[in-house]
Amino acid sequence: MPHQPRPEHLALTRRELLQRCGMGLGALSLGSMLAGEASSAEIANPLLPRVAHFPAKAKHVIHLFMNGGPSHIDTFDPKPLLNKYAGQNLPTQNLATERPTGAALGSPFKFKKYGQSGIEVSEIFAKTAESIDDIAVIRSMHADVPNHEPSLMLMNCGDARQIRPSLGSWVCYGLGSQNQNLPAFVAMCPNGYPIQETQNWQSGFLPGAFEGAYLDTQHTAIEQLIENIRNEAISLPRQREQLDLLAKLNLRHQQARQDDAALESRIQSYELGFRMQTEAAEAFDVSREPQYIRDMYGPGTQARQILIARRLVERGVRFVQVWHGEGQPWDSHDDLEIIHRKLAGECDQAIGALLVDLKQRGLLDETLVIWGGEFGRTPSVELPTAGANQGKVNGRDHNHYGFTTWLAGGGVKGGQVYGATDDFGFKAVENRVHVHDLHATILHLLGFDHERLTYRHAGRDFRLTDVHGQVVKQLIA
């Protein structure tokens, strides 16, 4: 009797092919290669909590991303000489950036010393500066190129060109999640996506469960904030029956595929979506906060999403990234004074409130707060260029040679300035910190040796810092 073809025989996974070819020797070889990589429980739920390489204070991260490139010399890196030379050529040569620049452009903002540490901060971040003794200001950051796309990828994923997992994905891969009813990694950006869109919170070659869940925080209604959060057609018990049936069908499908990571990730996404219906609505609803807390953070979208960030880490979410807005709002090629004052005014009160609120709840010690953009801006004015700017001659170009990032909480030694740019703020010259060094330090604060937090892909072990990065020990308490 002739053999009857079966449709499932026409589609083999790579694992099945190895099992069925060469008397199964390929599968034996693969099994030895993968031995010890993950337990069956970890494969079934990749977001189970895990232990870091060594004890650390930081358990959560809130990354406040000022996309577009805030000017360090107008925020956290004062340069008095710049005002002295305003309108004149700098005594040092202008470094090559994306666009032509001319004479020195003095800062329109006043700086003042704050806290016992006496660190100088711009007037536009006066509320944030009230917590300066908890903040470590890194004034010697540098990146590779003066362009948004590669600099965003470098800051978020550790590589300017190749598809790599984001920082948040690496953190969730290393630590899992403390709350199985909410995403481990949440990325919030009002009104749309930043430049490079979802690549900023991609999981790359890591399992899809570690990718950031995007929320458009212009919305306040939970049904708009999180799509399909409610099922109006059937009740929760009926949904549970449907998922149980789906789980049985998936199990039958799984038995022939032996711990397929992509399949497991998809199954977990169904379960997470179901569980989020009960907890997400409460977690994202800031109206449940007392009025005095909402007043402390202030009005507006930035205040709301920064308050949501606190509510999420309070509920065990591992990594929360807070973007200022779609595109590149801090990209002040023209009208820097107007734009920077407006943008800082939208978030300064809420950032200051976040640091105070975390501290009064006992959460600052275990929550690492990061502030910064993909690069800084030039001390020299950007020259009019047809098609590139509005020709107002009152803005700054991108500057990857030197810029500022600050860290607070999570084992950080606050009340200090680390590193320095030159007298005009063009280039990092003292205790220079590359983005790879920043990533290595962040992972260390979370309990990881950045050289050991690896994932095997395409025949080699990958890590966030690739073959680079040194931990900046002076930043650690």
- Tell me the residue range of the domain where 358 lies: 60-220+291-452
Convert the pLDDT of each residue in 247-265 to its tens digit: 777 777 777 766 565 666 6
Task: Report, as an integer, the average pLDDT of 309-316.
Answer: 97
In-domain check, residue 476: no
In-domain check, residue 96: yes
Instruction: Please state the pTM of the whole predicted model.
Output: 0.88
208 against 267, higher pLDDT? 208
Task: Report, as an integer, the average pLDDT of 381-406.
Answer: 96
Closest CA to 405 of 445, 366, 433: 433
Residues in Cβ contact with 411 at an 8 Å cutoff, skipping those fewer than 6 apart: 56, 57, 58, 365, 368, 445, 476, 477
Token pair 């005014």 in the structure block, residue: 345
Does the pLDDT value for residue 119 go beyond 90? Answer: yes
Q: Using alpha carbons only, give the angle 297, 300, 301 rounded to the nearest 5 degrees.
A: 100
Does the pLDDT value for residue 125 go beyond 90? Answer: yes
Token pair 């063009």 in the structure block, residue: 426
Convert the pLDDT of each residue in 321-331 to its tens digit: 999 999 999 99
Phi, psi of 235 (to 5 degrees): -80, 165
Burial tier of 15 (Cβ tally within 10 Å: 0-12, 13-18, 19+): middle
- The residue type found at 66 is M
Token pair 């820097």 in the structure block, residue: 336
Distances in Å between the Cα of 95 and the Cα atoms of 35, 264, 283, 394 are 51, 50, 47, 18
What total of structural domains would you count in the chain? 1
Q: What is the mean pLDDT of the chain?
A: 89
In-domain check, residue 463: no
What does the alpha-carbon distance between residue 444 and residue 436 come to, in Å, rounded to a whole number?
12
pLDDT of residue 456: 95
Closest CA to 194 of 89, 376, 68, 382: 68
Retrieve residue 5's tokens: 């073809």
What does the alpha-carbon distance between residue 181 and residue 315 come to, in Å, rounded to a whole number?
10
Does the pLDDT value for residue 149 go beyond 80? Answer: yes
In-domain check, residue 173: yes
pLDDT of residue 252: 76
What does the alpha-carbon distance between residue 142 and residue 428 come to, in Å, rounded to a whole number?
7
pLDDT of residue 264: 63
In-domain check, residue 462: no
Does the pLDDT value for residue 3 go beyond 70? Answer: no
Convert the pLDDT of each residue in 342-369 to its tens digit: 999 999 999 999 999 999 999 999 999 9
In-domain check, residue 14: no
Indicate left, alpha or beta for 55 from its phi (over 0: left) and psi (-120 to 50: alpha): beta
Token pair 């650390």 in the structure block, residue: 56
Convert the pLDDT of each residue in 62-107 to its tens digit: 999 999 999 999 999 999 999 999 999 999 999 999 999 999 999 9
Sign of the four-CA dihedral 397, 398, 399, 403: positive
What does the alpha-carbon distance between residue 296 and residue 293 come to, in Å, rounded to a whole number?
5
The rounded percent of the chain whose pLDDT value lies above 90 is 75
- The residue type found at 254 is Q
Retrieve residue 228's tokens: 């399909």
Convert the pLDDT of each residue in 402-415 to its tens digit: 999 999 999 999 99
Does the pLDDT value for residue 273 go beyond 80? Answer: no
Distance, CA of 293 to chain centre: 25
pLDDT of residue 242: 73
Convert the pLDDT of each residue in 208-225 to its tens digit: 889 999 999 999 887 778
In-domain check, residue 140: yes
Does the pLDDT value for residue 291 go beyond 50? Answer: yes
Q: SS3 letters for the chain?
A: CCCCCCHHHHCCCHHHHHHHCHHHHHHHHHHHHHCCCCCHHHHHCCCCCCCCCCCCCCCEEEEEECCCCCCHHHCCCCCHHHHHCCCCCCCCCCCCCCCCEEEECCCCCCEEEECCCCEEEEHHHHHHHCCHHHEEEEEEEECCCCCHHHHHHHHHHCCCCCCCCCHHHHHHHHHCCCCCCCCCEEEECCCCCECCHHHHHCCCCCCHHHCCEEECCCCCCHHHHCCCCCCCCCCHHHHHHHHHHHHHHHHHHHHCCCCCHHHHHHHHHHHHHHHHHHHHHHHCCHHHCCHHHHHHHCCCHHHHHHHHHHHHHHCCCCEEEEECCCECCCCCCCCHHHHHHHHHHHHHHHHHHHHHHHHHCCCHHHEEEEEECCCEEEEEEECCCCCCCCCCCCCEEEECCCEEEEEECCCECCCEEECEECCCCCCEEECCEEHHHHHHHHHHHCCCCCCCCCEEECCEEECCCCCCCCCCHHHEC
Q: In CATH, what number is assigned to the domain containing residue 123?
A: 3.40.720
pLDDT of residue 270: 63
In-domain check, residue 457: no
pLDDT of residue 36: 43
Closest CA to 407 of 50, 4, 126, 64: 64
Token pair 């449940």 in the structure block, residue: 288
